[in-house]
Structure 1
Amino acid sequence: MALDRIVNIVLRAAELVFATIVAGVTGQHLHQFRHASDWSQGRFIYTEVVAALSMFFALIWLVPFSWSFVHWPVDIILSLCWWAAFGLLVNLLGNSCGYIFDWNNVHPISGDQCGKFKADIAFIFLSALLWLVSALLGIFWVHSHERRARVDAAHRQHHRRWYRRNRV
């Protein structure tokens, strides 16, 4: 089945791109607000760490081998970390820039501070979704291959030749 490997490569590439965008925009926030309170900087530092870990794992697992599917527990953990970063930054934003899903001024590079902040939150949300989808694909792949291996083993045992001796 080559389709699952192609989907896996596309997901890993998108995870790498989104984590890189989040790392860049969040790094810009950290640089601009380096004199802010420790709590708001902690949120950005946490987001940077999650983005760095995501870039590392997405880059390693971008190699299209079947073993890249068995890492679905790490995908779930990274998805949960992204969801936590999303919640922390949405909580920080509050109502200061308007409704969180109002995308009128969203732009990660050029735009006002609210637009950059909302772009950062949007890419965090998308990254969390991609890691979750990647985990679900890994769970599906592992369980389907385990089921197929059990069926093949039962089939081989059932159709043993009459002239072969038992290997006990």
Structure 2
Amino acid sequence: MILSRLVSMFLRFGEFVSAAVVLGVTSYFLYEQHHHDYDGPKAREIYTIIIAALSLVSSLVLLIPFTFTFLHYPWDLILSMAWFASFGLLVDFVDDNLTCSGPFHWGGLANGSYCSKWKADEAFAFISACFWLVSFLLGAYVFHRRTAEGNRRGTFRRTYV
């Protein structure tokens, strides 16, 4: 049980960091678009900001190492799916609209260009989705293992009142 709590705290911290990075980079893009009257993928960015903000708050609340944090594993799956959708939207925009050498070409990203920032946003969205997916798997495992242990001990008996 101690190991699962430590792994959970590591995953929650990773979720927090990933969400903070995506929130910062995507907010920068929205600021630049507003400041320079540039029409960009605002709907995709607003969706990503909403998911990042929800993830930021959720990861902070669920970072507290109590057993009840494992009971919220369906929320982890929902956020994982939302992050994968965000990643797909970001990749789709790069593939269709930017000249960044393709969505999965990672060479020359150290120059601080628009493409390198966009790809960093993509990467951290994918990393966050993976963290949330592993949190879901861990939470489901711990929850169902504890339920099975409780059934063996007789602490979760059905009552026919």
Which structure shows the higher helix fraction?
2
Q: Give me the whole-angstrom Cα distance separating, in 2, the residues matched to 1:112 and 1:122.
A: 15
Aligned residues: 151
Conserved 8 A contact 1:105-1:111: no
- Where structure 2 has 5 or more consecutive residues not aligned to the other structure, the ranges are 156-161
Post-superposition offset of 1:98: 1.2
Q: Distance in 2 between matches of 1:47 and 1:94?
A: 17
Q: Deviations over 1:107-141 (max 9, x none)?
A: 5xx61100000000000000001000000100000
Residue aligning to 1:127: 128
Match of 1:101 in 2: 104
Name the CA distance, whole Å, in 1 between partners of 2:112 and 2:68. 42
Flag the structure with larger Rg: 1
2:63 aligned residue: 62
Q: Which runs of 5+ in 1 are unaligned?
A: 155-168
TM-score with structure 1 setting the length:
0.85
Q: Which amino acid in structure 2 is aligned with residue 106 of structure 1?
A: L
Q: Identity of paired residues, percent? A: 41
TM-score by length of 2: 0.89
Task: State whether residues 94 and 102 of structure 2, in contact with CA within 8 Å, keep that contact through their aligned partners in structure 1.
Answer: no
Amino acid at match of 1:92: F
In the TM superposition, residue 101 of structure 1 has moved relative to its aligned partner by 2.0
Using CA pairs under 8 Å that are at least 6 residues apart, name the structure with larger relative contact order, 1 or 2: 2
Quick check: 1:105–1:114 contact (8 Å CA) kept in 2?
no
